[in-house]
Amino acid sequence: MKPLEIADYAVLPNVEYPEDIRKLNLAELNRLARDIREFIIQAVAASGGHLASSLGTVELTLALHYVFNTPEDRLIWDVGHQSYAHKIVTGRKNQFASLRKKGGLSGFPKREESVYDTFNVGHSGTSIAAAAGFAEAHCLKGEKQKTIAVIGDGSMTTGMAFEGLNWSGDRKKNLIIVLNDNEMSISPNVGALSAHLNQLMTGHTVTKLKSDLKGFLKSIPGIGEQVFKMSRQLEESLKTMVVPGTLFEYLGFTYVGPLEGHRLDYLIKNLENVRDLPGPVLVHVITQKGRGYKFAEDNSPTYHGVAPFDVETGQALAKSVISSYTEIFGKTLIELARSDERIVAITAAMCEGTGLDAFAQEFPKRMYDVGIAEQLAVTYAAGLSIEGCLPVVAIYSTFLQRAYDQISHDVCLQKLPVIFAVDRAGFVGEDGATHQGIFDLAYLRSIPNIIVMAPKDENEMRHMLKTAIGCGLPVAIRYPRGRGIGVPLDDELHTLAIGRGEVLSEGTDLAILAIGATVYPALAAARRLALENVSVRVVNTRFVKPLDTELIVETANRVGQILTVEENVLQGGFGSAVLELLSEQGITGVRLRRLGIPDEYVEHATQAELRAKYGLDEEGIFAAAKSLLAGKTL
């Protein structure tokens, strides 16, 4: 089916900005919701992206922009997976085809992109804390803008979200938190009753009546305070039975909900009432992930983040026969766990994303998904380790940053044998600056007692996992997003020598020291240099910590010109480690150049485009080598 042009939709062509939404009647708003949902499906099918979450928040997005005076009223999205409808109605529908492409729209809210994107996001749990800061600043400046944070139920598992609730509930500033709950189901009847009751309970008349009644009960001589307390106890008891919001009210919030999240009339009326309530308010909205696209409704985890797919069948347009590093990791861990009952697996709300779904099926009692709580995952692993388990903590590189203190304080300080499977290391591509895994070599190698390694291919990763299981120390194995090299897998797993690299090709003119995903491009560049009669030694260092001192010193003395290559930031990374080693060993007279990512955040593009941009593909390594040999500066 040919994707529709914007002009082919009924209402969408007439909407550029939120002020256009506010001119529509209810029937037009509902038709706009259908237009946007179809538009998102067609666009994501072509380019990939976060589908299910954004389909679930179309009506909520329209209601928020209809009721609140954005961008003067600050709308802050948590994570941003659900923000596609927001982008479409805030001046970016004509650029939406460029979503997540090089030079195009970001997949997440981004302040540099639009005045309607009030806070840059990508990691879970930041919205409430940020919104509390916005609200406090407005109060200090005497401004009357509204501040609204939209956070999903998954993000509510983060410690930072609870810290934000605790703080903002105590501060009593005007703040609205919309809890987008897409895990609960709600029937139409319950939704209608809930919406009707909340329309009543949030209206000005009832709010004033409750306040007046409270004052009246307290004023009754002798028994007023006791009667008021009894009425409050009765109210709380009833709420506990029928309303899941008592916890939020104890934290200082006025709780409203749950509301049916796909009824625009209910949402608009309730949000209009909530808009003028004083103090912190939590609005609980029930939505359905994948709403309006059957494949995403039936299997929302699969359609959370998708590659380009066929709209009619829901099937990916292209699938490689080569397994991904993630898949190989999951299969290898199962293989090891079958013969070692001490092995347990931990992840932070990314069971499928980290390849642990099959492990969970085979070893359900040894699999722990702690929710979006990376700090908990690491310290939980520490406790398991002390009691004799062998925890394997599988977390994306960008998210493991959130548990840096726990890695240092709770694992490495105690020299506990916890294995970190650092997935999505290096360039992740289209998810952009918030998700690139380009810092882990630097932030991990600074911690004492940890072993840090990176495989050149999926077969070597299998042996590294075997090595990590048996070494008795904290270990991090970082590996890239996407498919492996396609090399044959050894039938038997074996243990690697800790801190030992391997020479892949011999040469005397130049040495390329590579790590992880840069090894094969380095080999390809060396083969091209050989055609020009340049003799290149290529070393797969395997380990960033500890480095292979003997091999690197011997290489420096033999060759004298070294190019280090890493898919990581240069500051404090692999190349820095080599420089430090040579300095400590008193090696002089060596010309060394580091190739990696400069001191900047990496924006969205494909992995191939990013490797080309930063000179970390075959062509870039070849050019850097030629420049070094010619005595030029990069």
**Residue 122's closest CA among 106, 108, 105, 104?**
108
37 catalytic residue (yes or no): no
Q: Indicate the DSSP class of residue 128.
A: H
Give a three-class secondary structure readout of 322-352. Answer: CCEHHHHHHHHHHHHHHHCCCEEEEECCCCC
- Angle in degrees, 0-180, between the axes of helices 224-242 and 204-219, rounded to the nearest 10: 140
Gap between the Cα atoms of 552 and 404, Å rounded: 29
**Sheet containing strand 536-540, strands side by side:** 502-505, 536-540, 510-514, 561-569, 591-597
Amino acid at 315: Q
Q: Structure tokens of 372?
A: 């979006």
**Residue 325's closest CA among 297, 347, 302, 355?**
355
**Residue 384's closest CA among 351, 421, 354, 341?**
341
- Give kind and range of the element (H or E) at residue 255: strand 254-260
Residue at token pair 């009667």? 227
146 catalytic residue (yes or no): no
Q: Which of 59, 260, 374, 458 is catalytic?
A: 374
How are the residues of the chain apportioned to helix, strand and coil, as percentages rounded to the nearest 5?
45, 15, 40
516 sits in the region (left: phi over 0; alpha: psi -120 to 50; else beta) called left
Gap between the Cα atoms of 418 and 124, Å rounded: 24
Q: Which of 402, 424, 462, 478 is catalytic?
A: 402
**Residue 48's closest CA among 121, 117, 89, 99?**
99
Gap between the Cα atoms of 124 and 160, Å rounded: 9
Q: Which of 74, 87, 146, 289 is catalytic?
A: 289
Gap between the Cα atoms of 318 and 109, Å rounded: 28
Q: Indicate the DSSP class of residue 92.
A: I
CB atoms within 10 A of CB 5: 9
- DSSP string of 534-547? --EEEEE--EEES-
291 catalytic residue (yes or no): no
The 10 Å CB-count burial string (b at 16+, else e) for 588-614 is eebebbbbbbeeeebbbbebebbbebb
Gap between the Cα atoms of 248 and 254, Å rounded: 7
How does strand 390-396 pair with strand 343-347? parallel
**With 0-12 CB in 10 A as exposed, 13-18 as middle and 19+ as buried, what is 148?**
buried
Catalytic residues: 289, 374, 402
